[in-house]
Amino acid sequence: MKIALAQINYHIGNFESNKQKILDSVKKAEKEGADIVVFAELAVSGYPPRDFLEFRDFVNQCNDTLQEIAAACTETAAIIGVPTYNTEPKGKPLYNSAAFVYKGKVQQLIHKTLLPNYDIFDEYRYFEPNIKFETVSFKGKKLAVTICEDLWNVQDNPLYRINPMDHLIKQNPDMIINIAASPFNYKQAEIREDVLRKNALKYRLPLFYVNHVGAQTELLFDGGSLAMNSKGEVVREMAWFEEDFAVFDTGEVESAANIQAPQHPGAIARIHDALIMGIKNYFGKLGFNKAILGLSGGIDSAVTSVLAAKALGNENVYNVLLPSQYSSEHSVTDSLNLVKNLNMPHDIIPIKKSYDALDETLKPYFKNLPFNIAEENLQARIRGVILMALSNKFGYILLNTSNKSEAAVGYGTLYGDMNGGLSVLGDVYKTQVYQLARYINRENGIIPENIITKPPSAELRPGQKDTDSLPEYAILDTILYEYIENRKGPKEIVAMGYDKKLVDRILKMVNLNEYKRYQTPPILRVSTKAFGMGRRMPIVARYLS
């Protein structure tokens, strides 16, 4: 049997576009002699549709679109992810389903059993879990069709009491087919491959896996669809971060010999490619093509600018230099060298006149109190006002340049440098930003060396350095990683050898600044625990604060 895997970049709620991409792949599968073509989880709607699923009109359009697709599947069968109605009198209103279509109609629906309800996943909010297990019989073969999480209960810490494949294996299937929506993080590929391998080995079956690719707001999908034989060997892995299509002969997959394990790029290379895809898709799916950002002469704005240029084209990234009376000369010259290297549009708009005007206006009301964070934040907010005005005037999306370290401890100004329509580096620690800069410069020095090597500074007062307020980033980021990603408490982190006062101070800053993160733009997710939808913390709380 020949199985085609269609790895597609879907667009949530864009039924016409999703339908056309699916139909194009069906035609391609027919042309290449495939018996069946497999599409990803919730392919018709895009993933995750979230509360669109509460609208009957949305679900009806999903099912109407499925019927149109099914009508075209006359010679080649297809497996397509789609939300369907639960017609039973009890339970959640919907199923997360895989539709098996052939000979112009839906022949069978397979429902998802294990519904993830952690981190960025919220499926039990909408879907009823499956309790009936049936293989799909097709051309003399039995297909064990599963949906993403249905294969994930083989890890050392199982979250569920049942395992769908334990039921399906009793029907003697010939292969496992898994349709998935597995979001990217820089560790996910190895974890995912290990999960799939455990299934192939446990059930002694070849496995065909198809994943989403592309960005859906903050969620990034890396693709990496694959075919694996019953010995757990990856016969072929499909492309990362781009659409792909491949046809596999099941016999050849199972008999393949001398297989080389896929070679994956390092974490920073993955983050680099994922962020470029995230920017490109965010703009493209919203119908925008031009970005604006404040270019400060620091490493965060420089890396953001380069990533945006790679995603949108150099000519579509407008860099605005906003020096104040406290800005160093090299901040301007370094920024000018960067825009020159990439031939990007730019302007210099000094903010001293605006600052002086507001300072004069506020002087009677500041009660002769000394210069402090109020005046520092005033500069950042003036920059925010200017950038948003230009964004409004010309229809640009403002890119936020804050990194994860800053966002974690609240080292940023609300309605100032925390402005933006999209946060590019909000899930990238400062130490990783430096690694990204080195990776960008691996072939030629796009980012001026001085931007990478000079001490980081907000330049909101004379001689200011980040280390005036924060510990060295190498120490800060390690402690933040243990708290945020690994969910370790203060005693556990101190036991690793860190100073108790420092740990308590950092964790307090993280928790006190939840209110700031609550108001930030969407953050492109590249880690195992990003700020945003996957990390839900109370604002008015006293834990560690």
User: Which are the catalytic amino acids?
Assistant: 41, 112, 148
Task: State the burial class of residue 31 (Cβ atoms within 10 Å of its Cβ: 0-12, 13-18, 19+).
Answer: exposed
Say how far apart CA 432 and CA 416 lie, in whole Å. Answer: 23
Picking from 121, 117, 119, 116, the residue whose alpha carbon sits closest to that of residue 484 is: 119
Query: DSSP for 247-266?
Result: EEEHHHHHH--SPPPPPPPP
Alpha-carbon distance values, 222 to 84, 217, 395 (Å)? 26, 14, 29
C-beta neighbour count of 166 within 10 angstroms: 12
CA-CA-CA-CA torsion for 528, 530, 532, 538, nearest 10 degrees? 90
Q: Confirm if 204 and 508 have CB atoms less than 8 A apart.
A: no
Say how far apart CA 307 and CA 437 lie, in whole Å. Answer: 10
Q: Confirm if 95 and 128 have CB atoms less than 8 A apart.
A: yes
Contacts of 358 (CB under 8 A, 6+ apart): 378, 382
Say how far apart CA 414 and CA 466 lie, in whole Å. Answer: 18
Task: List the end-to-end C-alpha distance of the chain, in Å, as a whole number.
Answer: 60
Q: Confirm if 97 and 109 have CB atoms less than 8 A apart.
A: yes
Q: Confirm if 212 and 40 have CB atoms less than 8 A apart.
A: yes
Say how far apart CA 245 and CA 194 lie, in whole Å. Answer: 23
- Residue 388's Cβ-side half-sphere holds a number of Cα atoms within 13 Å equal to 14
Structure-token pair, residue 78: 């297809």
Angle, helices 329-342 vs 299-312, to 10°: value is: 20
